[in-house]
Structure 1
Amino acid sequence: MNINQKYKQIRQETTEFCSHLHIEDYAIQVVKFASPPKWHLAHTTWFFETFILKNYIENYTEFNSNFNFLFNSYYNNAGDRILQANRGNMSRPTTDEIFEYRAYVDTKIQEFLQNVSDKKIIDLVTLGLNHEQQHQELLITDVKYMFGHNPIFPMFNNKFNLVKDKNKSFENIKIKEGVYEIGHKGNDFCYDNELGVHKVYVADFEINNYLVTNGDFIDFIESGAYADFNLWLDEGWTWVNINNINSPMYWHKIKGEWHYYTLAGLQKVDKKAILSHINYYEANAFAEWKGMRLPTEFEWEIASKQLNWGKRWEWTNSAYLPYPNFKKENGAVGEYNGKFMSNKIVLKGASVATSKKHSRSTYRNFFGPTERWQYTGIRLAK
C-alpha cells in the first residue's frame, strides 16, 4: 500500500467512527482534557494543511485563515491558539464546514502525493497519519467520557463494548538478571521518544502474563482499600479524598450490584473481564494491597515477547524521561513528545481502542498519574 492509499484509508477510518454520532454530539466538551469530536476532525486536518500543504505547495490557498488559531493544539512554533478548555465553545464553524475542510485538504494532499518521492515529505505525512491514529483513539475515549457522564448513559453502538476481553493465560514469567537493550530498532516508523537504543541492567524479577480483572478489583474495593491510607501514595491519597473516589471510572453501584458504562450502554460489571479505566495511583495501591508492584517500563519491554498484551495501556512504575542521546527536532515537530517529559508516567502496550498496527513493544505512552479516561489496566510484578 503506497502513502496515498494509506492516507485515504486512515482518514476514512476517522470519519467512519464519527458516522455513529448525531449532530448534537460533535461540539460537546465535558471536561478540559476530553476534546469535542468536531475539534479532533479539524485538528488532524489542520496538521496536514499546516505542516505539508502550506510548506510545500507554492501559493497554497488556506481553506479558512482562522483555522490555525482554532485548531492548533499545543504547537507554539505554529502560532497562537485557543485555550484547550474552550474547544467546546465553538458552535461555529459548523460541523458541516469541518467536513468540508477535511474534504478540501484531502483532495489537495492526494493530488500533492501523486508526484512526491522526497523521503522527508513522506516521513512527515507518515507522522501525520500516526498522529491521526492517536486521535482516533482519543475520539473513542473522549466520546465515551461524554456519553458516560450523560445522565441517561446513551448507547454509542451496540457492538462497541470494548471492556469485555478476558485473560487467555494465567502464567508468571521469570526473567533473569542481566543487561538488556531498550529502544526501537529498525527503519519502520516510531516516535522520537523511542529512539536511542541503550542498555539497562535489571535484577531477577517475575511478571504476570495476565492483567488484573474486574473481580480482582471488586475484592480490593470491598476490602476497604479506598479508605486505607496505608495503601496509597501521599498524592494518591489526597486525590482519593478530594474527589471522593471509591471505584474505577464509569462504575456505578445500583441496587447492590456494580455496573459500568460501556459504549454499548450501561451493563453489569463482568467480573472475569479485564479491568479498565484506573489511574496510576489506583494501580499502585492495588499492587501494594497484593504485596506486589508495578513493573518498570524496562522490565515490561524486556518481558514483552513472552506476554499477552494489547488490551489495555498498562501502567508502569517509570517516570516519562528522555532516553540517552534523545534529541528533539527543530521547529513544531520537535514539540510532539519531548516537552512533556515531566510529571508523567509511562504506559506500555496498547489498548482495545488503539488503531491497528499502531503499537510496538517500544512504544512509550504517557499520562499524568490522576488520568484514567483511557483504557488503562494493571499488570503486576515482583
Structure 2
Amino acid sequence: MNMPLADDTAVERMRAQYLAVRSLSLDLVAPLSDADATAQSMPDASPAKWHLAHVTWFFETFILRDHVPGYQAHDERWAFLFNSYYEAEGARHARPARGLLTRPSLTEVIDYRRRVDEAMLEAMPLIAERCPDLLALGLNHEQQHQELLLTDLKHLFFQNPLSPAAWPVAPNGQDNHYGYDMSWHAGPAGLVEIGHAGDDFAFDCEQPAHRHFLTPYALADRPVTNGDYCDFIDDNGYATASLWLSDGWAWVQKEDVGSPLYWRRHHHHWEQFTLSGWRPIDPTAPVTHISLYEADAFATWADARLPTEQEWEAAARDHDPAGGVQLDQAGPVQPRFVPHADGLAALFGNVWEWTGSAYRPYPGFRTAPGAVGEYNGKFMSGQFVLKGGSCATPRGHMRAAYRNFFYPHQRWQFTGLRLAKDL
C-alpha cells in the first residue's frame, strides 16, 4: 500500500529549512584551510571537519538508511569515523583522537555533504510523510554543532602563538562605562508550568511539561558584565576561599585559574582572545567563558546566587527567543553590550547563563526508542543546566524551555551568568 505524500507547500518549506541550515555550516568553514579543519585542541573539542561529517552521518543514518528504500551509504567505513556516542550504532573512533583523521580531506567531507544533500532533497516528499520529526531533530542537531564548531575553532586558534582570526575585527561596545547599573525584577512565583508543551519541535530532555512551585525571587535585569567581573578579580575573588564551592576551590588551585578563559593582562589592561583575534576587554559586554564554579563564586561575592532553571524559564516565557545577539551568518562572533529601557535584558543570546540546577530528568521523562534515545537522557549525571543561548547560537534555535548542559569546570563555550536573589 502506497503512503500519501505530504502536500507540496510543506515539502518546499522543509527543503528550504534544510538548505538554510546546511548552507550556514559551509559558510562557517569557508575561511578554514584543511589543516584548520582537521586539528583538535583538546578531548572536549572536535575538528571542524568532523562536525561537518558527523551531522551529515546523522542524516544519512537515521533518515536515509532507515526510511528511504534503496539508499546506499556513501562509504560504509565512515560510520566508524563519524558516529559520536551512539552505542546502538556500534564501534566508533575514539573522541580524543578525532584530530588524527587527516583523511578524508575537507574537500572529501564537503563532497560527502553534497551527495547526502542531493539524496535528502530528492527524498523530501517521502521524509515529510514518514519521519518529519527526525528531520527536525537532525536540523536542530546540526544547529547545535554549528555553535560547537565555532567554540571549538576558537579554542583551537587560541593555542596558536600567531593569534589567527577567522573573521575581521568586530567593533567593541561603549568602552567608557559598564552600560548601566544593575537592577532587580521579580519573577513569576507560585505554581508555574515548566518544560515544553505543544506540537512544535523540542528536545526530549525539555519534556514533559509539568508544574513547579516557585517561592518569590528576583533576577538581575542584565547579565554580569566584564566590568563587573573585573571588580571581582580586583577584590581578590580568585584568592578568597570562602567564596568558592569546595570542588571549585580545588579546581582553581589545581588549574591556577585567575581570570575567565581567553583573558590576559597586556600593558596593565585586560585583553580577550576572540574569533577576530586579541581585542581589549569591553567592560559593557557580558562576561563569558566562565565555569559554573566561577559563576557561583561571583554570585556569592555579590551577595546573590545563581537562578534555578525553573526561575529562569518562568521569567523568560514572555520574551522573544529569537531576539538578542545570536548567530545569523558567518562572521565575527562575540557578546556585546545591548542597551534596554526596562525589564529583563538579553535573556536570549549573547551568553549561556549558568543556573544552579542539576541536569536531571523531568517527572515522567521517558527515553525515546532506538539509537536516537541516546541523544540526551544518558548525559543526565554530574552536569548543570544553562539557559538562553549565546552569540554563537543560530537564531531561531532557542526557546524558554531549552536546556543546555555542561560539567561545572567547562568554560570553552560562551558561558556567563545572571544573578538571582530571594525576596
Which bin holds the TM-score, normalised by the shorter protein?
over 0.9
Deviations 1:130-160 (A, max 9, x none): 0000000011111111112211211110155
- Aligned AA (1:313): W
* Match among 140, 146, 156 for residue 136 of structure 1: 146
* Match among 64, 75, 96 for residue 64 of structure 1: 75
Q: Percentage identity across aligned positions?
A: 45
Name the counterpart of 2:278. Answer: 266
**Structure-2 separation of matches of 1:275 and 1:262:** 13
Name the counterpart of 2:135. Answer: 125
Structure 1 consecutive aligned stretches of length 4 or more whose deviation exceeds 3 Å: 114-117, 159-171
Deviation at 1:270, TM superposition (A): 1.1
**Residues 297 and 318 in structure 1, CA contact (< 8 A), matched pair in contact too:** yes
Name the counterpart of 1:231. Answer: 243
**Residue 284, structure 1, aligned to residue 323, structure 2:** no
**Residue 377, structure 1, aligned to residue 416, structure 2:** yes
**Residues 249 and 277 in structure 1, CA contact (< 8 A), matched pair in contact too:** yes
Deviation at 1:42, TM superposition (A): 0.4
Name the counterpart of 1:218. Answer: 230
Name the counterpart of 1:246. Answer: 258
**Residues 63 and 127 in structure 2, CA contact (< 8 A), matched pair in contact too:** no
Q: Structure 1: which 5+ residue stretches go unaligned?
A: none
**Residue 339, structure 1, aligned to residue 339, structure 2:** no
**Residues 167 and 275 in structure 2, CA contact (< 8 A), matched pair in contact too:** yes
- Aligned AA (2:395): K
The alignment partner of 1:127 has SS state of helix
**Residues 195 and 208 in structure 2, CA contact (< 8 A), matched pair in contact too:** yes
TM-score (norm 1): 0.96
Name the counterpart of 2:195. Answer: 183
**Residue 294, structure 1, aligned to residue 306, structure 2:** yes
Deviation at 1:196, TM superposition (A): 1.2
**Residues 32 and 84 in structure 1, CA contact (< 8 A), matched pair in contact too:** yes
User: Relative to structure 1, is the Cα distance of residues 160 and 114 closer, same or farther in structure 2, using a 3 angstrom cutoff?
Assistant: farther
**Residue 357, structure 1, aligned to residue 357, structure 2:** no
**Residue 151, structure 1, aligned to residue 161, structure 2:** yes
Name the counterpart of 1:307. Answer: 344
User: Relative to structure 1, is the Cα distance of residues 74 and 176 closer, same or farther in structure 2, using a 3 angstrom cutoff?
Assistant: closer
**Residues 194 and 210 in structure 2, CA contact (< 8 A), matched pair in contact too:** yes
The alignment partner of 2:123 has SS state of helix
Name the counterpart of 2:328. Answer: none
Name the counterpart of 2:17. Answer: 6
Which one is further off, 41-50 or 89-98? 89-98
* Match among 208, 211, 215 for residue 196 of structure 1: 208
**Residues 163 and 262 in structure 1, CA contact (< 8 A), matched pair in contact too:** no
Q: CA RMSD in A?
A: 1.8
Q: How does 1:95-134 map to 2 (within 5 A)?
A: 95-118=106-129, 120-134=130-144
- Aligned AA (1:136): Q
The alignment partner of 1:347 has SS state of strand
**Structure-1 separation of matches of 2:287 and 2:223:** 8
* Match among 310, 326, 329 for residue 368 of structure 2: 329
Deviation at 1:100, TM superposition (A): 1.1
